[in-house]
Structure 1
Amino acid sequence: MKILVTGTTGYIGKRLVPLLIEEGHNVVCAVRDKLRAEEWYKNEPLITVVEADFLQESTLSNIPKDID
């Protein structure tokens, strides 16, 4: 399953993403600052990091359309 996680760099997100990966899910991490999140997840093939700010509509096109 391909899952979108927002708040990836926050308290809950940092704990949720590894659990989803452990279960074999593909995870799309929506973050405001891509550089910050890429350090944590750069070697994980099941993770895609996209930069999106939900207060700026123009950035929402970065989120893949094929989220389950």
Structure 2
Amino acid sequence: MHTASTTELTWRKSSHSGNGTECVEVSDDLPGAVPVRDSKRKNGPSIIFTGVAWTSFVEEIHAERIV
């Protein structure tokens, strides 16, 4: 289990973010997991998805079942 703070991760803007102000950042630093945070709240909370859950989440967004 990874115990480091998410502030220690390397973050990038998600390719699934739009070009507006509602962007999320993700990190590739945790094997098997995808940490996600609001790009405007860098010191705010993050959500950590399993790789499978992140894939399902993105698929649901693309299918417009989550808006």
- TM-score normalised per structure 1: 0.24
As a proportion of its length, which structure holds more helix? 1
Which protein is bigger by CA-based radius of gyration? 2
Query: TM (normalized to structure 2)?
Result: 0.25
